[in-house]
Amino acid sequence: MNTAATSIGSAADIVIDVHGLSKSFNGRPVVRDLSMQVKRGTIFGFLGPNGSGKTTTIRMLCGLLTPDEGHGTCLGYDIRTQAGQIKSRVGYMTQHFSLYEDLSVRENLEFVARIYGLSDPIAAAKEMIERLGLQGRETQIAGKLSGGWKQRLALGACTLPNPQLLLLDEPTAGVDPKARRDFWSEIHGLAARGLTVLVSTHYMDEAERCHEIAYIAFGEVLTRGTVDEVITNAQLTTMMVSAADGEAIARLANELKERPGVDMVAPFGTSLHVSGRDGAALERAIASSRQRTDLQWRVSRPSLEDVFIDLMGHARDNFQ
């Protein structure tokens, strides 16, 4: 009996549970055999380049698209047959500002509150304005807001009906660093109160703010786990080399790219990250360069960006 109770409790902690999702458009595969689980109350980062299938996956999860293959649940509802129940319980913030640009901040929030049938739309809008620090901007036309304030308004609108799951599709693209930091502080506050968040992003610093991440390329999940797990599982050996002469570093980068054992060379100012999956082969590849007195070498921990660049280099492009 205790075992059954534990099993039920564990199942209740899983908000997204999908297996083998595939989706094609005009014969072109966009998502291929994708499986993932997201736990309740976590911030799950969904990373990948443009065209990798992130948006298509998000739309399948919330019932806006039906997968060609695969099955699963979102908030306990079948993504194929119970899309209506999912939509009413999910907040979805799209890549582009989707509220009415010719309405004010207050009017947009009151409109959303009425759409969701909240008992007191005026009070709900006022409370959200106060919570997100939009006081003084209530009558400002949404289309005239800066990117950061538009983002804050959009977040307020999609959390107004108290969703159980928040889907954020590249929400901070084109937003200044301070606005991004403020946005993430709000997201962590929501997660601390039990809201589950799935967010797609291109930014490595944002990925590091997530409890768990998955990297998708060409429609397939290449890796997933905590940031530390993803970096460890990549099994990359990384060296940092620097020099006072920028031209010397540029020449070295071109030389190292051609050497067996070097899987990736990435410039960082007057330094290079040099990585390889085989540590011994990498050491042999850089041995002659390590004797040069104008270069300073040191062992470096692989960054998340190193891992993703390496993954992209080994990924199979399904679109070609």
Kindly state whether residue 315 falls inside one of the protein's structural domains.
no
Residues shown for the chain: 320
Residue 222 maps to which CATH number? 3.40.50.300
pLDDT value of position 51: 81
Same domain (yes/no): 167, 297:
no
Examine the pLDDT at 3 and tell me if it is beyond 70. Answer: no
pLDDT value of position 318: 46
Burial of 68 from C-beta contacts in 10 A (0-12 / 13-18 / 19+): middle
Q: Which of 215, 231, 247 is the last residue of a domain?
A: 231
Q: Which of 214, 231, 248 is the last residue of a domain?
A: 231
The residue among 93, 196, 200, 203 whose CA lies nearest residue 150 is: 93
What is the rounded CA–CA span in Å between residue 171 and residue 176? 12
- Domain of 51 in residue numbering reads as 10-231
Residue 271 maps to which CATH number? 3.30.70.100
Q: What tens digit of pLDDT does each residue of 46-94 get?
A: 998 888 889 999 999 988 999 999 999 999 999 999 999 999 899 998 8
Specify the higher pLDDT residue, 172 or 123: 123
Examine the pLDDT at 8 and tell me if it is beyond 80. Answer: no
Mean per-residue pLDDT, 109-125: 94
Are the C-beta atoms of residues 202 and 303 closer than 8 Å to each other?
no
**Number of domain units in the chain:** 2
pTM assigned to the model: 0.85
Q: What tens digit of pLDDT does each residue of 174-218 get?
A: 778 888 888 899 899 999 989 999 999 888 888 999 999 999 988
Mean per-residue pLDDT, 259-269: 89
pLDDT value of position 79: 95
Same domain (yes/no): 264, 141:
no
Mean per-residue pLDDT, 154-179: 88
pLDDT value of position 283: 94
Same domain (yes/no): 258, 287:
yes
Query: Do the strands 212-217 and 43-47 form a parallel or antiparallel pair, or are they unpaired?
Result: parallel
Q: What tens digit of pLDDT does each residue of 224-252 get?
A: 999 999 999 999 999 999 998 888 899 99
